[in-house]
Amino acid sequence: MQREVPETLYYDCPDCDDETIHDVLKGRMGKASLECTLKCTECGRTFATTIPLPKIIKMQVVISDGPVSERTVTEIEEDDIIAVEDEFFLEDGRRLRVCSIELPGDKRVKKSKASKVKMLWCQQFDNLTIKVTINNDRVSYSRRIPALPDDEFVIGNRLELEDMDCFIHAIKTREKLIQHGQAEARDIIRIYGKYGQKSYPVLDFEDDVEDF
């Protein structure tokens, strides 16, 4: 497992006298320790320190895909901070997103240190299906389109569906309804579009070039 300098970590702050979240301002990964400069996010104290590297633990993972669920195990550093909606890759290359974090005693939390977690409840997160509502005067249609998490959808753009096109006029994300700009598929709950007649398929210019 390749070890990278983390962006944040839990550490005993000398001023707060508590284990708080620290930003790692500078860091160099050694074989058994991390030399770094930390800044406490509670009190702002900045200091240099050497931290023994955390152990790598086995994390129990449940992947649910509709009615089917699968159990597996992944490796993670014991003091990694895991939060709901975090994305990570399994060793087999599948991309997962954390839906729920279970601690012992059936407790569910939004964020936790890895070593405290009993089970991570995840969803596979490679091929998403996005809901689209298309308005045509008083009629509205519901469609679904496939997307990858990184795909961007831009307000005003034409979206080609199988049986019709639409112009995106609003996007509901997890946070808010946006009416200008763009959103990534991973954040989108629903796209709202205005009906547009199906355009004729346009020949791809790149394909033409290859013929010459």
Task: Write down the least CB distance from residue 6 to Zn ion, Å.
Answer: 18
Task: Write down the least CB distance from residue 39 to Zn ion, Å.
Answer: 9
Task: Write down the least CB distance from residue 14 to Zn ion, Å.
Answer: 8
Q: Considering only CA atoms, which of 108, 134, 146, 131 is closest in space to residue 189?
A: 131
| Rounded Cα gap, residues 187 and 12, in angstroms | 34
Residue 105: both structure tokens together? 């005693």
Site for Zn ion (CB under 5 A): which residue of 15, 65, 70, 91? Answer: 15
| Rounded Cα gap, residues 19 and 41, in angstroms | 11
Q: Position of tokens 């249609």?
A: 141
Q: Considering only CA atoms, which of 93, 196, 98, 185 is closest in space to residue 146?
A: 185
Whichever of 15 and 75 has its CB closer to Zn ion, that residue is: 15
Question: What DSSP character marks residue 4?
Answer: -
Q: Does 42 bind Zn ion (CB under 5 A)?
A: yes
Give residues 45-84 in contact with Zn ion (rule: CB under 5 A): 45
Q: 68 with 83: CB under 8 angstroms?
A: no
Task: Write down the least CB distance from residue 49 to Zn ion, Å.
Answer: 13
| Rounded Cα gap, residues 157 and 167, in angstroms | 6
Q: Does 12 bind Zn ion (CB under 5 A)?
A: no
Stretch binding Zn ion (CB under 5 A), from 3-11, 38-46, 137-145, 190-198: 38-46
Q: Does 16 bind Zn ion (CB under 5 A)?
A: yes
Site for Zn ion (CB under 5 A): which residue of 25, 43, 103, 177? Answer: 43
| Rounded Cα gap, residues 174 and 41, in angstroms | 26
| Rounded Cα gap, residues 103 and 88, in angstroms | 19
Number of H-type helices and E-type strands within the chain: 1, 20
Q: Does 25 bind Zn ion (CB under 5 A)?
A: no
Whichever of 26 and 158 has its CB closer to Zn ion, that residue is: 26
Q: Does 36 bind Zn ion (CB under 5 A)?
A: no
Whichever of 45 and 118 has its CB closer to Zn ion, that residue is: 45
Stretch binding Zn ion (CB under 5 A), from 7-15, 118-126, 178-186, 193-201: 7-15
| Rounded Cα gap, residues 140 and 153, in angstroms | 20
Q: Does 19 bind Zn ion (CB under 5 A)?
A: no
Q: Does 38 bind Zn ion (CB under 5 A)?
A: no
Task: Report the interface residues with Zn ion, using CB under 5 A.
Answer: 13, 15-16, 40, 42-43, 45
